[in-house]
Structure formats: structure tokens, C-alpha cells
Amino acid sequence: MASSYTIHPAKAAPTLNIPKGASATVSIIDTTSRIQAPVGLFMHPAIPGHEHLNAPAFSFLIEQQKSRRKILFDLGLRKDWQSHPPAVLKLISGPGWAMEIQKNVADILQENGVDVAGGSIEAVIWSHWHFDHTGDVSTFPDSTKLIGGGGVKDAFFPAYPHNGESPLLESDFAGREYEEIDFDKGPTHKVGNYRGIDYFGDGSFYILDAPGHAIGHVVGLARVTSTQDGDPEDTFVLMGADTAHHGGEFRPTEYLPIPKDITPSPYVAKYASTCPGHIFESIHPRKKAVDPFYHLHDEVPHNKQQADHSCGLMQEFDAADNVFVIIAHDATLLDPRVGIEWFPHGTLKNWKVKDSDNKARWLFLQDFTQALK
């Protein structure tokens, strides 16, 4: 019999009131980054059998349709990750860490017809300064601008090796324009409950203020279909960066309780196609199908209160049926059942038609199946 929690009625999702605008072409890039890290370093309480995060790191290619201007949001790891400053290597050489990467994003793009060397990428936007998002900016020409969140200069400049304590490399900034985002010096827009900057000026892509996880942490919101462009509705992709590292940090919620039946199944060894949601009640730390499984450790984010608030804002977008929330390290998107069209084979324009958000939403529960045995 299904538990009362898993048939908990969903609270109505908040109205986001996203300003009208044009659409952008958005491609998601598997950067070939694969990162293993201890779960307990980031979140709690422990769930038996889920000791490590085994995560990709995504990059997004965003193109304004009218001008064909192209930008990137995040870069994943750099191929020569061993060349990071000592401050970074000290962290990732600790117990439970492992790194693997085959190619830099610049090489992936160049090999698939994007003229990176010729300056086709206008800007690289870092969601934040952490090593698994910054990639290797030196592989882009000097004409490609680098954009980062506010406060990074004050905290970490000069970069390494001039400053031996900095986690950033001088080579990423050498000879190129670096711009810091300042949400206090408008113009900004209210996008849901975020503050946002309209990058292209046509409503197709917003940089959103999402502080807490790290100094200057931002997320991106791209409109991938638009009624202004003749589409039946406006749909969006929220690039959530490190607002959360795992689906269990921001799901379930009162807007999206664990459903009675979950398809596709996160527990294929026992339930091939559809899995009953109530079986996960017994391993939920608070036995609630309307609260996330995990919480951030207090000492992990730069500002815990802000990080929790930013996660709450993302949960509001996650509840909207026209927004696909993609956090930077969501391994569930690699499951073919989700139907992601990866660069260079497709874009995210048809994610709603393919129902990719709903197919991916509960697959993180597969990480908890050992606790059910």
C-alpha cells in the first residue's frame, strides 16, 4: 500500500512572471569531465550505500538567434587539471577524490564546426570560480571575454603563480578582458524571485544572482522557445550550476512530492519500467516525501543562509512545467532514457516535447537503492 507521504497532494507552483522575450539556441555539452568526490564532504545526513558523487560537469553553448552571437556558460574541468594551483590540488588530492577528462571544451567545439580559434565565442561566463567550472580559458583567443561573479577579484587577485595562495590561474586572464557582474549597478530585471541581467538585451538569456555556494555564484536562464518567435509557449532551461550538487539536495518539495509511481524506474534491478515511490519513504531521513533528502553542511558554502535561499529559488523554477532545471553535475542526464540531445547532435529546444525534465527528475533515487536492500 502506498504511504500517505507519497500520495501527498502537491502545493501549487509559484507564478514566476518571467519577462517576455526572444528565444536562444542552447546546446548542452558533455565536457568529458568525470569527478568522484565524497558525498559527506558536501551534504548530510548519510544515506547507506551512497558514499561518493560520481558526476559529470556540463557546459552550455548559447547562441542569440538573430545576431548569431555565441557565449558559453561554464567549462567543466581543464584537461591538464594537474596544473591547477596548489590551493586546488590540496583539496582534490584528498581521500575519495578522482578526476578524469578527455578534452577541453574549446577542442570539442572546434572539432565540431565552431570556429573557436577564429573568435566565434564572444564570452565565457563562469558560474563561479571553482576548478570544475573554470576549464581552461587560455584555449580561447584573447578576443573571447571572460565574465565572472562579483567579488572574485577582491578575493583572489592576483592569481597564481604571482599569488601562491590563489585558486585561480593567471593564464586564464592574461591578455583578455575580464568583467565582473555587479547586480547592484543595474539595469536588472526581476526573473521569478531572482535578480537578473538580460545579457543579449532581448530576453533570451539572463544571468541570475544566486549567491551562497561560492563568492560570485550565478546561474543562467535561457528561453529556448518563445511565443514571440512563433512557438506555442515559452519554455526555459535553468542552468543551476552548484546551487545543488545532487538531485536529493533540492528534491522532493511541497511542489513536487515523490510521486506514487516513478517512470522511468530509478530501481531497474527490481522494477524494470515503473517503480513505486513509497519504497523510498523508509530511507528518507525524515520520512517526508515533500522535503529534500539532503541538506548542505554548514561549512561547505561560502554563506549557508544565502545558499539555502538560492536553493529555494531554484526549487520554485523546478516546480514550473515550462522550466527544465539542470544542475552542473547531474549524472542522471547521461541516462539515455532521459533523451538529451547532446552537442553537436542537437539542442535543448525540444526538451518539453521529449518530457526530459520529468524523465530525469527522480532518477537520482537510483543512488539510494543500496539502502533498500
Q: Provide the pLDDT confidence category of residue 4 given band limits of 50, 70 and 90.
A: very low
Q: Cell digits for 189?
A: 530585471
Do residues 48 and 252 make contact, with C-beta atoms less than 8 angstroms apart?
no
- Phi/psi for 19 (5° steps) reads -55, 150
Q: What is the mean pLDDT of residues 215-222?
A: 99
Q: What is the mean pLDDT of residues 31-57?
A: 97
Show Cβ contacts of residue 270 under 8 Å, excluding neighbours closer than 6 positions: none
Q: Cell digits for 139?
A: 584555449
Q: What is the mean pLDDT of residues 221-249?
A: 98
pLDDT in the model for residue 3:
39
Q: Alpha-carbon Rg of the chain, whole angstroms?
A: 20
pLDDT in the model for residue 195:
97
Cis peptide before 292 (omega within 30 of 0): no
Report pLDDT digits (tens) over 86-137.
999 999 999 999 999 999 999 999 999 999 999 999 999 999 999 999 999 9
Q: What is the mean pLDDT of residues 277-284?
A: 90
Cβ-defined contacts of 34-40 (< 8 Å, 24+): 34/99, 34/100, 34/101, 35/77, 35/97, 35/98, 35/99, 35/100, 35/132, 35/329, 36/96, 36/97, 36/98, 36/99, 37/96, 37/97, 38/95, 38/96, 38/97, 39/246
For residues 34 and 248, give the distance between their C-alpha atoms in angstroms, rounded to a whole number. Answer: 19
Q: What pTM did the predictor assign?
A: 0.96
pLDDT in the model for residue 7:
57
Q: Mean pLDDT across the chain, nearest whole number?
A: 96
Q: Which domains does the chain have, with CATH numbers?
A: 24-251+302-355 (3.60.15.10)
**Residue for cell digits 518567435?**
229
For residues 367 and 251, give the distance between their C-alpha atoms in angstroms, rounded to a whole number. Answer: 14
